[in-house]
Amino acid sequence: MKNERFDNAVKKTLEDIEQLLTVKGLEYRRNNNVYHNFDVGAGITGETPEKVLHGFLLKHLISAQDIRNDIGLGVLPTAEKVEEKWNDILVYFLIEKAMILERIHSES
């Protein structure tokens, strides 16, 4: 039964991530730039877009750490909270991967 739950969790996560990237991608995209928020943040802070993205991601990583700490204290999160936080983390990592690959391809 664990294998089936694992397989279902992976399948659902991939479907949710695809939808999240599509919906949030439209929300964050401006002037046909998928990295708009990170580029604008880089202009404001003087950091690279990748570092700005990591700053956005950090909030979710801290929430995940808090959840792990709570579990250690015997407090379980809701399934909805786990879905939300880990999906957000995965989305940011996918955006970061694409961003870095874009930089590699544009500079080579």
pLDDT (tens place) for every residue of the chain, 108 residues total: 789 999 999 999 999 999 988 877 777 788 889 899 999 999 999 999 999 999 999 999 999 999 999 999 999 999 999 999 999 999 999 999 999 999 999 987
Give 49: exposed, middle or buried? Use CB within 10 Å, 0-12, 13-18, 19+: buried
The single-letter code of the amino acid at 46 is G
Domain span at 58: 2-107
Report CA 83 to chain centroid distance, whole Å. 12
Query: Which tens digits make up the pLDDT trace of 40-64?
Result: 999 999 999 999 999 999 999 999 9
Q: How far is CA 68 from CA 9, 15, 42, 74, in A?
A: 19, 25, 31, 10
Compute the mean pLDDT over every residue in the chain, rounded to the nearest whole number. 93
57, 72 Cβ separation under 8 angstroms: no
Domain count, the chain: 1
